[in-house]
Amino acid sequence: MKDIIFDFEYLTPKTLKEALELLSKYDEGECKVIAGGQSLLVLMKHKLITPNYLIDIKGLSDLDYIKLDDKQGLKIGALTTHRAIETSPIIQKEFTVLSEMEQNVSSVETRNWGTIGGNVCHGDPGGDPTPVLIALNANLKLTSLKGERTIKAEDFTSNYYETALQHDELLTEIQVPNLAPNTGVKFTKFSQIAGDYANASAAVSITLDNKEICSDVRIALGSVAVAPMRAKKAEDILKGKKISDELLAEAGQIASEEASPTTDAEVSAEYKKELVKVLVRRVGKEALERAKKA
Ligand SMILES: Cc1cc2nc3c(=O)[nH]c(=O)nc-3n(C[C@H](O)[C@H](O)[C@H](O)COP(=O)(O)OP(=O)(O)OC[C@H]3O[C@@H](n4cnc5c(N)ncnc54)[C@H](O)[C@@H]3O)c2cc1C
């Protein structure tokens, strides 16, 4: 029988330090980190990447946690699985949108094994977590032997499967600030098959002043550009105003003009732009309702 995967050396560091030492020991291209393997193994089976060394970090239980602090907000270890986030009572109560988003990431089998860190680091423009993290104004903590740095989720992915991660760094933590009072956040994706990657997705966070005027808004889109993106011109339409259905429709129109999707095997670029129009209007309305009740 023909091999479906090439030979590589499988390394299982026991601590974060050991993992970082292995990463800095080998050149880029020579080694690769594996967490849940849900995205990486597909690339390896197709021989799109052929590392000599595979550094398995799934056993680093120190990076598997969900913590909420009154001052510092939510902290999620990079190795936390999609399923743990989906089912976390803390997240369901305080960051409902994260749990809702996870419910539609692939199947429960993939969610049981795949990690949020792996998803974000894969850098797929159609991944579900990153637009939500952008709407929540999250930061990502990156760690190497040289130390730690944080980067905004919105600055992390730069192009198809390209991120700000340096070869010797690991994503170790996702940091989500506590929601400001009167804030509502909502995410929706449109995909032709339930649980499949999105043809387009939108996450909207709205904060109201005195339950009426929009004092802050963040609109993030997935699958409609080379990387998850913020629709800043659409945000400007809503900021400082009392949000109406008409304004949300205008924001949807502007967001669809900001998006730069390409036609793929499933849907055309024009169709994706129409999806953005509808999703931003619809998700914006739901975020607004949540903000009014918050
Ligand atoms: C059938 C199927 C359907 C899917 N559908 C969806 C979907 O609808 N929506 C969606 O968002 N995703 C979907 N996915 C993708 C999947 O949910 C995630 O991408 C996957 O969970 C990645 O996490 P992982 O832990 O398996 O990462 P891996 O596959 O192990 O790694 C992915 C990449 O991230 C790097 N990496 C992993 N962890 C770290 C870290 N801590 N620091 C630095 N680099 C790291 C790896 O080197 C690799 O480059 C689907 C996957 C499958 C197989």
* DSSP letter string, 95-110: -HHHHHHHHTSS-HHH
**Spatial separation of the C-alpha atoms in residues 272 and 261, rounded to whole Å:** 7
Q: How far is the CA of 123 from the centre of ligand 1 (A)?
A: 9
Percent of the chain past pLDDT 70, that is, above it, reads 99
Mutation test residue for ligand 1: of 122, 141, 191, 193, the one with most atoms within 8 Å of CB: 122
pTM equals: 0.97
What pLDDT is attached to residue 81? 98
pLDDT for 276 beyond 80: yes
List, in order of start, the domains of the chain with CATH numbers. 9-56 (3.30.43.10), 62-176 (3.30.465.10), 196-293 (3.30.390.50)
* Per-residue tokens: 146: 């040289």
pLDDT for 277 beyond 70: yes
* Per-residue tokens: 1: 């029988």
Which ligand 1 atom is the nearest neighbour of the CA of 114? 21
What pLDDT is attached to residue 1? 45
The mean per-residue pLDDT over the stretch 13-28 comes to: 96
Q: What angle do CA 73, 135, 93 make, to 5 degrees?
A: 50
Contacts 24+ apart (CB under 8 A), 28-33: 28/167, 31/55, 33/57, 33/121, 33/170
Phi, psi of 162 (to 5 degrees): -115, 130
Q: How many CB atoms lie within 10 A of CB 7?
A: 7
**43: Cα within 13 Å, side-chain hemisphere:** 14
What pLDDT is attached to residue 2? 54
Mean pLDDT of the chain: 96
Q: Is the CB of 114 under 6 A from ligand 1?
A: yes
Mutation test residue for ligand 1: of 28, 105, 130, 156, the one with most atoms within 8 Å of CB: 105
**Spatial separation of the C-alpha atoms in residues 43 and 5, rounded to whole Å:** 10
